[in-house]
Amino acid sequence: MMNRRACLEILKKQITDEICVATYSTASEWIEVNDRPLNYFSFGAMGLASSHGLGLALARPERKVVVLDGDGSCLMNLGTLVTIAAAKPKNFIHTVWHNGSYEANGGHPLPNRDVDFAGMARSAGIGKVYRLDDIRNFEQQIGAILKEEGPVFVEIIIEQGPLGPRSYDEMYSPARRKKLREVLGA
């Protein structure tokens, strides 16, 4: 099991001009690790980070989109896996940070903590699927995975992160959304 923040620090070194769509707990740490104009934060719509990312990938095929999704969030919208497989966006990478809990909602356990998200993605028709649970393997593989043609699905096994109040105000700021639109020329 890995520490999410340590993985995000490694991921930061690989991210250049990709749009990163992050949600809830992962987003809280991602903004601290890599605050940048090409971050899109999906809040108030639990389960829809993958759908938001898919929409961005289809609308902006020239730019890679990396979704930083949570396991609880993914469970709320499993149908998106089938939609992603059918749409076949070549610029789409969907990561699911699997800690076995609805961390953003107090750390309540998933009904089945051992759910196989990689297996579900494979069954949905996504051809490139990975499961990473060791920090050395994560560091060695994530750069190459991000360069692959999508769709790609990566289940990342992590320990539960810190619980407690989080402030999402900065992520929702109109200035942040405006900057993203400016960078994308939208």
In the DSSP assignment, the letter for residue 3 is -
Q: Cα-Cα-Cα-Cα dihedral of 164, 170, 176, 178, to 10°?
A: 120
How far, in whole angstroms, is CA 143 from its chain's centroid?
15
What mean pLDDT comes out for the span 53-64? Answer: 97
Q: What is the pLDDT of residues 104-130, one digit of tens each?
A: 776 667 777 889 999 999 999 999 999
Residue pointed to by tokens 């707990």: 25
Contact 154, 130 (CB under 8 A): yes
Two tokens, residue 73? 């969030």
Contact 42, 65 (CB under 8 A): no
| Structural domain count of the chain | 1
Residue 185 is assigned to a structural domain of this protein? no
pLDDT at 70 over 90: yes
Residue 56 is assigned to a structural domain of this protein? yes
Q: What is the pLDDT of residues 26-47, one digit of tens each?
A: 888 999 999 999 999 987 777 8
- Give the domain range for residue 120: 4-180
Contact 126, 149 (CB under 8 A): no
The count of other CB atoms within 10 Å of the CB of residue 122 is 16
DSSP string of 74-127, one letter each residue: HHTTTHHHHHHHHH--TTEEEEEEE-SEEGGGT-EEPSSTT--HHHHHHHHT-S
CATH number at 70 reads 3.40.50.970
Residue 186 is assigned to a structural domain of this protein? no
pTM, rounded to two decimals? 0.94
pLDDT at 162: 73
